[in-house]
Each structure stands twice: as C-alpha cells, then as structure tokens.
Amino acid sequence: MNEIWAVVIGTSIGIIVITIYGLLKNYLSECKQDNESQKLAMSSMILSFSGIILFGITSLIGIILGIVALKRLNKRKALAIIGIALGFITISFWILVIIFGP
C-alpha cells in the first residue's frame, strides 16, 4: 500500500511542477501589468499553492479569485490559469488522500 501512495504523491507533485513551469514560462514571456486583476491572479496562485500545506482549504478561495481575474483580464491570463489549475490539482490531491487514507 505504501508503494501505491508513493506513486500517487510523486505523480501529483510531477503534474504540479510541470503545470507551474509551463504556465509560468508563458507568463514570463508576456509583459507584466500592475492592476487589480493581475493582483487577483497572483493572489489566486499563492492561495492555491498554499492549499498543499493547508489541506486544500485555501485552494477553494484561490480558484474563485482565479476565475474572477480570468473574467476581468483581456490579456496576460497565465497567472489566473496557474491559480485555477493549482487549486484543482491541490483539491483533487486532498480528496484522494481523504478517500484512500495515508
């Protein structure tokens, strides 16, 4: 059973790293814009990422902020997409942990 959890956790971490790298690379290629929507998108990413430590609770807030930022932004949507993706990955990880146990 421990081997299965090692594979699940390793795969989850790998998916998170690949997602963050790809979307962050896309974001860095775009110009930075300091407005309210970009700050919402950045907050979304930070809260979704902190959901890894806080059992996915902040990931729900991160997903909501990411969706709001995604609707407000016309360009440079990468941070909002990163926040939403991280939120869903974190929540799905914790749901798997709750269902199958450690």
pTM (2 d.p.)? 0.66
- What is the full per-residue pLDDT of the chain (102 aa) written as tens digits? 577 777 777 787 778 777 777 776 666 565 555 567 777 888 888 888 888 888 888 888 889 888 988 888 777 788 888 889 989 988 988 888 888 876
Q: What is the residue-wise DSSP string for 47-75?
A: HHHHTTTTTTHHHHHHHHHHHHHHHH-SS
Asked if residues 40 and 58 have their Cβ atoms less than 8 Å apart, the reply is: no
